[in-house]
Amino acid sequence: MPYLRRSPRAVRIRELLLEYRLKAGLTQAEVASLIGRTQDFVSRLENGERRLTVEDFLDIASALNIDREHFLTDLQKIPAPPSDLNPPKR
């Protein structure tokens, strides 16, 4: 069964990656070639079957001319879900 993150931030990451790729007028295969990966890798990122690492984000951001600060600011607007790793502050 494929991995699929459905958190609001994960969904927004996928939306942004797709938006930037389409805005650049590139196919998944073309992006893959620019970052030294396979088309399947890009597809899995866009479909949520693979997590975006910081290293991959930097490569993709360079390939698609993504404004990194704007990308991250957009994500920060989405509240993080509650987590056992982040107990409530007192």
Please indicate, yes or no, if residue 26 is contained in any of the structural domains. yes
Which pLDDT score is estimated for 88?
Answer: 60
Q: Which domain holds residue 55?
A: 8-76
The number of distinct structural domains making up the chain is 1
Give pLDDT tens digits for 1-52. Answer: 455 678 899 999 999 999 999 999 999 999 999 999 999 999 999 999 999 9
Please indicate, yes or no, if residue 82 is contained in any of the structural domains. no
Q: Quick one: average pLDDT of 65-90? A: 81
Please indicate, yes or no, if residue 88 is contained in any of the structural domains. no
Q: Which CATH number covers residue 43?
A: 1.10.260.40
Which pLDDT score is estimated for 6?
Answer: 83
Indicate the pTM of the whole model. 0.82
Q: With 80 as the cut, is the pLDDT of residue 81 above it?
A: no
Please indicate, yes or no, if residue 50 is contained in any of the structural domains. yes
Task: Return the C-alpha torsion angle 61, 43, 19, 17, nearest 10.
Answer: -40
Q: Which of 42, 14, 40 lies closest to 26 in space, CA to CA?
A: 42
Please indicate, yes or no, if residue 84 is contained in any of the structural domains. no
